[in-house]
A and B are shown apart, each in its own frame.
Chain A
């Protein structure tokens, strides 16, 4: 009985580490940016991909009908369209308004204005779009839903938000912050473990053929195969590295000595996927989730005493402390986040029309 009580105490301690809200700020800002880029990338095709009848690529009614067989509790755009019809709004207008609200709520999330409400609204609108457009959804939509789901349940606002500055609303419990970060950390471990495991079970990732095929498979064939083929001896190494990084994630990401290597490796892998396969938004969301889960320093004391608004000032203060490793890592990730954002923005501009 005594041993059981000790284990129970350990489990609770593990689930409730005291944390600062830096990770939450990274998650909020990252997801806000992701939502804005997601909406902008679909701005010309939003109505075309999500229309019910008449003017779309594929009727969302089909996806919604299949989904409603599984569960009627999942929100879809049909809910909004039906609501709009009651006040005389045409479907096209409702879809446009939903897109505008998504951009506005994403911007509010980025700035931290009405953080909780913005997080819930973004989660809801994105979920409606992802579920109604089920046939044109892919992995990125799931990861955005996961991130937004945890974000809206986490103790917002964080200290870098406008809410914090203006409203002085400070409802943070360091252990509750730690709890929600722990959920995200554990979830990422499961994601990478299964992703790595399923890759390890096929021969293609060991001999490099899957790397080659992934890079030349339309529509991911961003790099000319003539160039790629000259690197063919690197593909087995890259394939094995991907398998090891992913399957080793839940084992090496927890330990202080290996966390830095694994996190940089995983983020570099996502940057590589983004640049070589054109999956910029996918790369960005994965980097945001990883950085917020494992890169930010945990210093609950500073969180409770913090009065500084400036990130730079905080970074300067934190240098040289026992958590400097996390700071260095966070600093290293920031250029990655920014460069990925810039690449996505350029890509969206260059592909216009």
Chain B
């Protein structure tokens, strides 16, 4: 292979690595600015600043319609490098649970979870429920829960009302578990749906 061609390849690998490292650093700085870590609380501002710098390097400071941002964002998505690798880090967070309370005309009440056919799909639905719990956007949370409620309703067309109850699963430590404590639930949000309605009411703790 010609030297000039090799140089082009080396430039390509350098750009790819730059993007992988920058995206990973950005997500690490985000974790450091949001989570409880070995660093003091006062350092969070520093990590926020670092996250801003890395975001800027990824053209995230440009308007969304800017071609550079569109191309760069497009490329990182095409190559699968748009997110960092902080799995279960810095600590393993609590998970979330979504339960639907179905009310029928005969005053019967049933409970349903979002259903899929196997454990591989269940992992994906669990990720979706975690997204609902993590998002700061009330509009997004409400939209997703409305869609999920609609899916449950299709399975139970005779229900007259549905209450979606969303909560956090509090996990016991190993020592607590050994002493008999089991997982508990903390109520976070509830949404009420009536026939052919948008959420009629929302309650929080």
| A residues in contact (CB < 8 Å) with B | 11-12, 15-16, 41-42, 44-45, 48-49, 55-59, 62, 67, 69-75, 127, 131, 133, 135-139, 141-146, 148-149, 173, 175-176, 179, 182-183, 186-187, 190-192, 194-195, 197-199, 201-205, 208-210, 212-214, 216-219, 225, 228-229, 232, 235, 278-279, 281, 347-348, 351-353
Contacts and interface: CB of A to CB of B under 8 A. Distances in A.
Given A138-B124, A202-B91, A278 B85 contact: no
Given A44-B117, A186-B17, A201-B37, A229 B173 contact: no
Given A15-B13, A74-B77, 19 more contacts: A11-B10, A16-B6, A45-B117, A55-B154, A62-B147, A71-B77, A72-B70, A142-B81, A146-B81, A173-B1, A190-B24, A194-B85, A199-B89, A199-B90, A201-B37, A201-B39, A218-B126, A232-B175, A232-B178
Interface residues of B, number: 77
B38 A131 contact: no
B205 interface: no
Interface string B107-138: 00000001011111111111110010000000
A173 B9 CA distance: 14
B149 to A, nearest CB: 11
Interface stretch (B27-35, B48-56, B156-164, B186-194): B27-35
Interface of B: 1, 3, 6-7, 9-10, 13, 16-17, 20-21, 24-25, 27-28, 31-32, 35-39, 64, 69-71, 73-75, 77-92, 94-95, 97, 114, 116-128, 131, 143-144, 147-148, 151, 154, 169, 171, 173-175, 177-178, 183
Contacts, number: 226
Nearest to A179: B9
Given A135-B144, A279-B123, A201 B174 contact: no
A208 B89 CA distance: 13
Nearest to A38: B120
